[in-house]
Amino acid sequence: MAEGHAGDVVDRESGETAGDGGARPEATESVATGTGDAAAFDAPENVVRAGAFVPPRHARLHAHGPWGTLGKIAASTVAVGLVAIASTGAYLAVDLVQDVVAAPGIDLGTQAQVAAAVPDIGAMEGGFTFLLLGSDKRPADGAFGDPELESGVLNDVNMLLHISQDHSHVEVVSFPRDMLIDVPGCTNPETGYDVPAQYDVKINTVLDSGGPACVVDAVSQLVGVDIPFAGVVEFYAVAALSDVIGGVEVCVAEQIDDDYTGVHLSPGYHSLQGMDALQFLRTRHGVGDGSDLGRISNQQIFMSSLVRTMEQRGVLGDPAQLYGIAKAILGEQYLTLSTTLQNPLRLVSIARALQAIDLGKVAFIQYPTVYTSDFSAVVPGPSADAINAALQQDVAVQLDTTAQDGTTFGTSTDPNQTATATPTAPPPSTDSAAPEAAVPETQAPVVGDAVDVLPDDVLGQTAAESRCSTANDY
């Protein structure tokens, strides 16, 4: 393990030591675009900068391998994959799903709360709450990290997908891997040992000590809602899905250089797939403030673009593309589902409920946290109560669009106003025009629905928004 100076945090992902740094410079209003080459352009009205961090900057949190980055997007891709499976129809999905169904499932002890069968392949009735865990099983995965130094199975990714009762809105809540959490007593399914209740433990250690059901119980206790469905995903699902759909376009505002992941991207638009997509999602040193919290915006940029890409390319109406996605995710068994989801018809029914939801009402949210006194971890912040209440009351949420300046996401741009950008690089020597991002319509609440405007320190974006990654300037 790399040596570090006193007070530094050794990064387990790369072996680098991370010390304290100065306050982040003010974010500029400039973005650039192109297809691999730097170029200057006026920022589309719905494009906002991402990556600035709230000062002061403290010691970075301990990194625990690629899942701190990769799985956050893998969770989203699996949700999209479920939509794909539904759209193909059961006759296309069943041969793939049966492979997953035949594998041992995750017993959550909640089957009694779920109906025994889905009567048809229409949209399910009522809401849906699903916890997806990203597991860093390095001896099996082997792509990143050193198993000798990084033993154990960490759930570095924990994402809660909530579909409202009327299917009008979706919330995808990301829980930081270093967040301290209380864990109720549970039984480890692999060892059979009873695990006593734990207090103030990092959430990413719970999978190893208690199994998936234990993580589900802990998150359920935290947010105050029942979670009858869950799954554990491998990061290879990200590469597989990005390959199948032909790449995911991301916007880069400034030159990103990260020697640890090999990510070197010029300002502009880049279509990423396969391992390039994975490395973009891994990069922590190259974006934001260099911390895991700072790079969550980078992952959400990719997630929202992935959803838009599938919609723009007509994936949901193309059985051939849908079958390819289903096979990429399920055929390689990158996903282990809870026993409550091992009914192919149930998968189809749940996914059909996602198809008609407006992208502007799919919110990717970072669970609000604050640093501990020694900056070695984070704990739920006061604004977490607003997230919990919205989930418990099944109401749509609205991010404070005027409060993103100076935060992880930088400056928000009103989609109804024209934004002016300062060029960051000379125009490219090419005749190809930069892609023009569509301006999302302002989303009005569904009549009769309550909408919670979240506190200004709650970070996130909708699937309809396009944002640009900002480089780490430290």
Q: Which residues pair with 370 in a beta bridge?
A: 379
Distance, in Å, from the CA atom of 177 to the CA atom of 301, rounded to the nearest integer, reads 19
- Residue 123 backbone class (left: φ over 0; alpha: ψ -120 to 50; beta: rest): beta
Percent of the chain exceeding pLDDT 90 equals: 21
First to last CA, the chain: 23
Q: Which residue has the tokens 């301290």?
A: 180
What pLDDT, in 10s, does the model give residues 172-223? 998 988 899 999 999 988 888 999 999 999 999 999 999 999 999 999 999 9
Beta strand extents in 140-234 (DSSP E only): 155-163, 170-174, 180-183, 186-187, 194-195, 198-202, 229-233
Catalogue all structural domains in the chain, each as residue range(s) with its CATH number.
67-239+311-361 (3.30.420.590)
State how far the alpha carbon of 160 is from the alpha carbons of 11, 224, 226, in Å.
Answer: 26, 12, 11
Tokens of 324: 């390819």
Rounded to 10 degrees, the C-alpha dihedral 262/265/269/272 comes to: -10
How far apart, in whole angstroms, are the C-alpha atoms of residue 468 and residue 67?
Answer: 22
Q: 0.75 exceeded by the pTM?
A: no
Convert the pLDDT of each residue in 238-274 to its tens digit. Answer: 777 888 888 999 888 888 898 888 889 998 999 999 8
Question: ∠104-111-85 over CA atoms, to 5°?
Answer: 60
Which token pair is 323?
Answer: 């079958």
Please tell me what DSSP assigns to residue 83: H
pLDDT digit string (tens) for the chain, length 474 residues: 333 333 333 333 333 333 333 333 333 332 232 333 333 333 333 344 343 322 233 333 443 433 333 333 444 445 555 444 433 333 344 444 455 555 566 777 654 455 444 344 566 788 889 998 887 664 444 343 434 444 568 887 788 999 999 989 999 998 988 899 999 999 988 888 999 999 999 999 999 999 999 999 999 999 999 999 998 877 677 777 888 888 999 888 888 898 888 889 998 999 999 889 888 877 778 877 777 776 677 777 888 888 888 888 877 666 677 677 767 766 666 778 888 877 766 766 776 777 778 888 989 898 999 999 998 999 999 999 999 999 999 999 998 766 554 444 332 332 333 333 332 333 333 333 333 333 333 333 333 356 778 998 888 888 888 888 887 776
SS3 265: strand
Q: d(Cα 40, Cα 424) in Å, to the nearest integer?
A: 6
